[in-house]
Chain A
């Protein structure tokens, strides 16, 4: 039981599950589950062993996101978003003594990193920033009007996108790490949403200053293609797979209960369950296939070069689009199977939370935005 995935599964069942309804009802941070993950040192899952982390890979992370989200998708999404930020630092910061030390500290203190990409004025276009890093004498200041910062109030650090300098165009961005002592945030909007309520993601005005070494080496154009986008789309899809699997499990329990009442007779809902089972399998296969390919590419220099191609970007975007659509469809169909028992908030077969959580997927970076990017790439991509 010392395998990290086993530990996550145990936390999902024993800690995330019993608090999931309360987290959802109160739109509150899933602190019990996050405390448990910290205690098991699972916030440094992707940090290399020589820096004190667990040295897991992207496939392990995706499986962990699924396991948590089968019980509480808000917990799964917080875990996913944190790991995406850690991955950016591990994969692009290790040439810098500052970031090596930071990751060692993170492995020891189990700090939680939030993501600040979206911004008033650009919405979900992560590859454009309005705000800019202003440098002077080895220091910088950076202020950002962020539309959404998940668990902003509960984080120990922020990873922020910004233009490289005040003269740089919107797409010439860097990533900046801010520790709690470097920034202040003032909440600007509320977070009373349909779903993913436990991610606690209102808007904030952020003010910060720090030392230049806190700027991640290289350009965000590369770290976005090589790390932030693939990790986001894979780990988010892992979360959505967990929601879908949870819904199918509930529908399956419902159909079995019907079948047990009249043995020898196939319940009419069994057909629809068979349909769902096929959909869930294709969703799972897509996540596993793209994750395995990415896992291989991450491990070699040629692979990391391949992560920069349009072909890979298209595949990553397709994964996000198809899983975000499938999760909503699967939960909806599970609801139809369970009928009124799924519609009730207080039944064992309730699917309300899963349905509301699932609908965040298509707008977490709007799918049309991603379709538009793919449409543009497909004008020159030859599929050969």
Chain B
């Protein structure tokens, strides 16, 4: 799962650092992800993992690191 998240970040995150080697807890916004880019990341994750983020999860902190994104995806796939 982490690899797929890294690929999505590589394609849509507009990071100034390499998504493949970025530490899992590194702050993606400090790595250059804008809020516009984060929306594209959210869309790609919803599409890739066939999930829908509820509105209550649509906030910066849920998408602030690879680890945070993985936790969110796990939470939604476990529930479904």
Contact = CB atoms under 8 A, between A and B. Distances in A.
B60 A221 contact: yes
Contacts of B55: 309-311, 381-384
Contact of A308 (B31, B39, B60): B60
Contacts of B42: 380
B59 A379 contact: no
Interface string A357-384: 0000000000000000100110111111
A225 interface: yes
Interface string B33-69: 1111001001100100000111110111100000000
Q: Which of B42, B53, B55, B56 lies at the interface centre, i.e. has the most chain A CB atoms within 10 A of its CB? A: B55
B58 A171 contact: no
A308 B64 CA distance: 13
Interface in A302-360: 305, 308-311
Contacts of B58: 309-311, 377, 380-381
Contacts of A373: 35-36
Main secondary structure of the interface of A (DSSP, over half): loop
A172 B61 contact: no
Given A168-B30, A171-B34, A221-B29, A309 B56 contact: yes
A382 B54 contact: yes
A222 to B, nearest CB: 8
A376 B36 contact: yes
Contact of B61 (A308, A380, A383): A308
Nearest to B42: A380
A268 interface: no
A169 B31 contact: yes
Interface residues of A, number: 25
A221 B61 CA distance: 10
Contacts of B36: 373, 376
Contacts of B23: none
Contacts of A379: 39, 43
Contacts of B29: 169, 171-172, 221
A169 B31 CA distance: 7
Q: Which of B32, B53, B58 lies at the interface centre, i.e. has the most chain A CB atoms within 10 A of its CB? A: B58
Interface string A159-174: 0000010001111100
Contacts of A19: none
Interface in A123-143: 127-128
A382 B43 CA distance: 12
Given A168-B30, A376-B39, A384-B54, 4 more contacts: A225-B60, A309-B59, A310-B55, A376-B36
Interface of B: 16, 29-36, 39, 42-43, 46, 52-56, 58-61
A-B CB proximity, top 6 nearest = A169-B32, A310-B58, A308-B59, A380-B42, A309-B59, A376-B39
7 contacts: A127-B35, A169-B30, A171-B34, A376-B39, A379-B43, A380-B39, A382-B52
